[in-house]
Amino acid sequence: MKDIPEIAVKPVLHHVTLKTTRLDEMIAWYETVVGCTPNFKFDGGSWTTNDAANHRIAFLQTPAIQDDPDKLKHAGMHHTAFEFPTLKDLLDNFHRLAEGGILPHICLDHGLTMSFYYADPDGNSVELQSDNFGDWAKSTEFMRTSEDFAREPIGVEVDPPQISAALAAGATVAEVLDRSRKGEFLPTTPGDVRLPV
């Protein structure tokens, strides 16, 4: 695509639309997990949002849509992501969801973000994250220049209750993040990154 001139105005991602066979269950899950509520719903779909945008997550449903039992083996999108302002907010949400039986399939400290991945009712992965630097410019610089990130770009598995316990015991967020990258908060059971190997 080298013959196409560089884009003059860069658009921002506005929404994601998912095909589903379980519309009501998907609406309820996204409302519970990320606070998206419907601005419009009909038999064939719904447009939901968790901010001032007219929609952020949309759903389409037709009788011809079928579940794919081999979804994880096929090319396509791996996950969508939502960002919390702070690690505390991310952990508070983790505990809220866990109390309701919604648990992540894997939790990772990517170095630039702390990320907890959940599977929605259709099996799509949804990342809930907080920026480890609290500043996109700093986390971008880390991604571009860190030898640590280059060595382990997927990150280190973490156990959110252990992180919460460390913070409750008086550790600072900076101390927790340093300890996390050193593998001090590993889960007892490894998570599932949901990629075929």
The predicted model gives 144-153 an average pLDDT of 94
- Ranges of CATH 3.10.180.10 domains, the chain: 1-63
pLDDT digits (tens, 9 = 90+) for 70-87: 999 988 889 999 999 999
CATH architecture, domain 1-63: Roll (3.10)
Written as one string, the DSSP assignment of 156-194 is EE--HHHHHHHHHTT--HHHHHHHHHTTTT--SS-----
CATH architecture, domain 78-191: 2-Layer Sandwich (3.30)
- Ranges of CATH 3.30.720.110 domains, the chain: 78-191
pLDDT digits (tens, 9 = 90+) for 104-120: 999 999 999 999 999 99
